Amino acid sequence: MNLPVLYVKSNCPWCNEVIAYLDHKKILYRKVLVSGNAEAMQEMIKLSGQSKAPTLDWNGEILADFGVDELIPFLTRVR
């Protein structure tokens, strides 16, 4: 099973809200901290075309620079 990948930055309030939402809904994912990790940051930029977090890669479907309000319809579409 390939888990969705959530790219986050430390001390990012939007990232923290998204993590709390996914955890509350018991949605499994792999968290990748891009702060201080140049390789992970480049991976996120390559996938999304930008450097803002959070960025979610759900089996090739990318949602970048989002909050919970954007996440909910995205999850409805990709799940």
Distances (CA, A) of 16 to 52, 60, 70, 77: 14, 22, 15, 22
Under CATH, to which class is 5-78 assigned?
alpha beta
Residue 57 pairs in a beta bridge with 5, 62
Where exactly are the structural domains of the chain?
Answer: 5-78
> Which residues does residue 5 pair with via DSSP β-bridges, in sequence order?
30, 57
DSSP string, 28-78: --EEEE-TT-HHHHHHHHHHHSS--S-EEEETTEEEES--HHHHHHHHHHH
pLDDT digits (tens, 9 = 90+) for 44-59: 999 999 999 999 999 9
pTM for the model stands at 0.96
Can you give the pLDDT at residue 45?
98
